Chains A and B, each alone.
Chain A
Amino acid sequence: MAAMAPGGASSSEIYKGNASRLLLPTWVVIGVFLLVPVALMATYSFLTKEFRGGVIWEFSLAAYDQFFLDRGLFGDEPPRIEWTFITIFWRSIWQAGLATLLCLLIGFPTAWFIATREARMRTVWLLIVTVPYWVNLLIRTVSMKFLIRDEGPLNAMLLWSGLIDQPLGLINTNLAVQLGLFYSYLPFMVLPIYAAVERYDFALSEAAADLYAGRWTTLRLVILPVVKPGLIAGCILVFVPSLGAFLAPDLLGGAKSFMIGSLIEEQFKGAAGNWPFGAAAAMILMSIVMVVLLVYARSQTREAKA
């Protein structure tokens, strides 16, 4: 031991000393790519908009005001609640929530199936699940548009088989967006759950069965609680990007399936944009996500203490 830690310094001191210097790149990255952008966005949301895009450096609450309050066309009416953007947010939240639920319902059995194959086959199955996702998301979403549009192969096949006599009219609906979201983020659900199930000790299931628990009871009281970190990770990884998605609603959805991602995107695109409003919408979106995560984290610590 003395040879490993000369001068009587404990090894942990040595590692801590090195760590502060070696962690410098990490701090730079976190600062430049995470903290500064968020600070910039927060700042922009409190500035005044320039009509051809960009901002005027003048403090203003106009962006938030515009988001939540309706003061009439000329801004001179008594303020009422502005439902337009709240509706878009609400739609985004339930679309993302539904996509998360669907991914969970399909992803858990899929991950379970893969994790319980023999080691060699697991790699093959994981590859099958992930390879489609090596293709760019835009291309996959456009492909889905071609697949499900009224003249596309899905409708052609169903018409030919005689199951339907009218095209389904899927395209430009909330359902199409849902399909797009579900398909875009499914692997983000499968992979963390797979990792959790692969570590799961199947002796626990045997112990539960030995102690008079049937299959469903075992699933509910033992398996799900033990792999819960994987389920939570999967849900976060699907919910958060779904909430801000703009490709699927843009390409597959119609006017009535407009989502936050598209709303924000529009504010920064071209001359019609409104940067402070886009920044404010992004800040509100981020706050929602953070509140959800904080509530979850609090419930976890409370559970651990109990």
Chain B
Amino acid sequence: MKTLEDLKALREKLKGDIKVRQKQGTKIIIGMGTCCIAAGAREVMSAVLDELAVRKLNDVQVQQTGCIGMCEKEVLLDVIRPDEPRITYGNVKPADVKRIIADHVVNGRIIEDLVVGKIEQEG
């Protein structure tokens, strides 16, 4: 280790690897009830993880949740950016994932045509 700057740079690089254990960054929450899985939630999940990996977005948290009762709109996927409202997308297909991540997760532009709900405050 040569300089403090070297160390700080290294830390920045490594930080993401343990982000999952900290409460920072953007969260993606996917409904994973049995019904959701039947509707293709696993495939959406895989697509999300693939895309995050490709884009090296290792500080984005991916969480799962159970069925929330809006079964006709499954697969359901929520995006919460820090200090922004929770946006719920419905009828998400694996093909939509690229767009959600590129526009919303990275650039903060909500994809209105997929939105099914908006919650101002994350509980």
Q: Decide whether A and B assemble into one complex.
A: no
